[in-house]
Structure 1
């Protein structure tokens, strides 16, 4: 398997945002009640991460990284301290664009998101994708693959949880486990399962 293929699988399963790194749990738990909203969230996360991570890569290495302004005679200029603000701005613009597209062409999915769609602007998993890109010194192609892989992994995780919660709607659960109680138990068990991928990768 190529390096980019390995990176995609690692981003999706080894470094799974909600189940391995425990990022984005707010929307992960809130929008996993129904498969329709879970799939919509997965598509949105994949789209936003796949777009913002490479965009932020271009912005960081083109304007913010140390030495990025060497072509203008400013080799010592370092604007990396503005990375967080720039990344959030790109994410906010991307989420706004996504919201406009969904509202125009997919109103049912837009209604299913409700208030959680604008909250993707401050979704820690989306911001983490760009921060990991900088920390791990990914190239542009690696940033694209990492963003898509992270979004795909999030989509798989939330779709799995939604499918299980749908089946549990017909189960007779103890009073103490109804609602979020059983959801936390399920998320913990799924996290243990995804942790095995990290052990497999470490053994290679």
Structure 2
């Protein structure tokens, strides 16, 4: 049941976009069509679903204070937590490179549509934010960390697909000139964020 709670929280209550506004750069840039939004959303799910459990292993068996105790009692005193940022970023960059190669090989049209924003997943603050939330919340098992990563990715996918669908329809709407483009997108995102705040009342 805890895993279901973590997943629901990641998707709705602690949504990366609507609760924390993390990953806004690619959210705004790649949400012009639903097709590209779905492609990038699934790429983000994969990256979060892989990097967060890998970073959990790094955190619990190498980085945090006493994590090296499994090597022997003499190593229990070491605290490598100061390396967390650089290690997390290295893992994220490696996985994103793998995703980029897979998409380029098997979905070249999607690769061309995503353009520079696919490799920029490596610097998407939602990805690093997920790793840092995992570290801060101290999930007790790798299963919880994995479910949190996948749930956060699904929440991000939900957000970008929703705004992409709305933006496709808005093209044919009578939007005031000064608000066309990013202006109305920011307003809609804010309204959707307010709507998602209603999920914070759910007691899990």
Per the normalisation by structure 1, the TM-score is: 0.96
Q: Corresponding residue for 1:168?
A: 170
Q: Corresponding residue for 1:159?
A: 161
Q: Corresponding residue for 1:35?
A: 34
DSSP 3-state at the match of 2:38: helix
DSSP 3-state at the match of 1:77: coil
Q: Deviations over 1:2-42 (max 9, x none)?
A: 11001100011101001111111111111110101110111
- Taking the TM superposition and a 5 Å limit, the aligned residue runs for 1:56-71 are 56-70=55-69, 71=71
Q: Corresponding residue for 1:134?
A: 135
Moved more, 64-73 or 155-164: 64-73
Q: Deviations over 1:154-192 (max 9, x none)?
A: 000100000011111111211111111110111011001
Which consecutive residues of structure 2, in runs of 5 or more, have no partner in the other structure?
A: none
Q: Corresponding residue for 1:53?
A: 52
Paired with 1:161 and 1:68, the residues of 2 have a C-alpha distance of 42
Deviation above 6 Å: which 4+ runs of structure 1? Answer: none
State the aligned residue count: 201
DSSP 3-state at the match of 2:49: helix
Cα RMSD of the aligned pairs, angstroms, is 0.9
Paired with 1:56 and 1:190, the residues of 2 have a C-alpha distance of 31
Paired with 2:8 and 2:202, the residues of 1 have a C-alpha distance of 12
- Taking the TM superposition and a 5 Å limit, the aligned residue runs for 1:141-156 are 141-156=143-158
Residue 25, structure 1, aligned to residue 30, structure 2: no
Which consecutive residues of structure 1, in runs of 5 or more, have no partner in the other structure?
A: none
Moved more, 62-71 or 79-88: 62-71
Offset, 1:75:
1.2
Q: Corresponding residue for 1:106?
A: 107
Paired with 2:37 and 2:201, the residues of 1 have a C-alpha distance of 28
